[in-house]
Amino acid sequence: MTPRAIVRADSVFEIVLGIVLIARAAMGLGPGDFPAPVGNVLVLVFGCALLPVGALLWRLSLRPVPPRLLRTLAIANLATAAAALAWYLAASGFSTAGTALTLATAGALALLAAAQLRAAKS
């Protein structure tokens, strides 16, 4: 994958995750998906925050992507994946859907980070 394609993939991931979180919060589905005190309001805030992040990444992918940007994105994605995994391991109260979303997000972020680091070395 090219550096631009990797940044675009990160952008699409952030936007899709944001939409999923917004839809989940807006519909009030599974209020017990995540451990307290994470409820619909916090899920909605996180979902809304991801949309401009995704839009910014898309804009950044329209120009040449320097290795420094790829490394920065990889660090951010790895840190977020580690935080999600640590939260999952430390807290109890995740539903099956909450577990799936949390672990899938951590895994996807780790994969994106690996691709970003590989592209930054090229």
- The secondary structure of the chain, three-state, reads CCHHHHHHHHHHHHHHHHHHHHHHHHHCCCCCCCCCCCCHHHHHHHHHHHHHHHHHHHHHCCCCCCHHHHHHHHHHHHHHHHHHHHHHHHCCCCCHHHHHHHHHHHHHHHHHHHHHHHHHHC
Q: What is the pTM of this model?
A: 0.92
The predicted pLDDT at position 29 comes to 62
Domain residue spans of the chain: 3-121
**Quick one: pLDDT at residue 28?**
72
Ranges of residues in the chain whose predicted pLDDT is under 50: none
Orientation of helix 96-121 relative to helix 3-27, angle to 10°: 160
How high is the pLDDT of residue 31?
65
Q: Which residue has the tokens 């939260």?
A: 87
In total, the chain counts a number of residues equal to 122
Amino acid at 103: L
Q: What is the C-alpha to C-alpha distance for residues 115 and 33, in angstroms, rounded to an integer?
A: 30
How far is residue 113's CA from residue 122's CA, in Å, rounded to a whole number? 14
Q: State residue 30's pLDDT score.
A: 64
pLDDT score, position 67: 97
